[in-house]
Copies of this chain bind each other. A is one copy, B any other.
Amino acid sequence: MCGPMILSMTAEYALRAMAEIAARGPDDPVRAKDLSETAGVPPSYLSKILRRLAAAGLLTSEKGHGGGFRLSRPASRITFGEVLRAVDVDLSDGGCVFGWGACDAQLPCLLHPAWAELKASLSAWATRSTLAHATSGAAAVKHFRRALRQAAQRPAR
């Protein structure tokens, strides 16, 4: 249905979940079941992913009544790169596409220049983007929805 993509499903789910948790604010913990609905992730699979994020120190968890997940740090201090690394993907890690043997700047492989360029850009993105971007996104969405509602209540002419 989705076709092949840049990020794995797991990575995508992790980003969605973290963004959603960030957007709810630090007041009370978010239940996995809630997340699974709003973020559109299969509940039992999401549970696994949240565990990995918690193990990586990005989330804290509380069991039992009123429990759930919480960011372990302010959203502005959690980068996308950290989230991705917690699940499986390391956008900044080495490995040249063509360098299946040795490959470095000294003895570069055929694709080295183009590949280095892409990696730099990915790595910069992953480092620069934080979950705080998601929370501001949430504010924008809320604002837009309110505007929609008000427009709907006004009688059409």
Contact, CB under 8 Å: B16 / A108: no
Contact, CB under 8 Å: B134 / A125: no
- How far does the alpha carbon of A134 sit from the alpha carbon of B113 in the complex, in Å? 8
Residues in B whose Cβ lies below 8 Å from that of A23: 110
Contact, CB under 8 Å: B117 / A137: no
Contact, CB under 8 Å: A118 / B111: no
Distance between A70 CB and nearest chain B CB, rounded to angstroms: 17
Residues in B whose Cβ lies below 8 Å from that of A141: 107-110
Contact, CB under 8 Å: A112 / B125: no
Copies of this chain held together in the complex: 2
Is A56 an interface residue, CB under 8 A from the partner? Answer: no
Contact, CB under 8 Å: B110 / A144: no
- How far does the alpha carbon of A145 sit from the alpha carbon of B110 in the complex, in Å? 13
Is A74 an interface residue, CB under 8 A from the partner? Answer: no
Residue from the list B2, B80, B117, B140 in contact with A108, Cβ < 8 A: B140
Q: Mark A92-111, 1 if CB is under 8 A from B, else 0.
A: 01010110110000111111
Contact, CB under 8 Å: B114 / A129: yes
Q: In the complex where A6-B6, A141-B107 touch, is A133 in contact with B118 (Cβ < 8 A)?
A: no
A–B Cβ pairs within 8 angstroms, 13 of them:
A4-B8, A4-B88, A4-B89, A5-B95, A16-B110, A16-B111, A108-B137, A108-B140, A108-B141, A109-B141, A113-B137, A114-B133, A114-B134
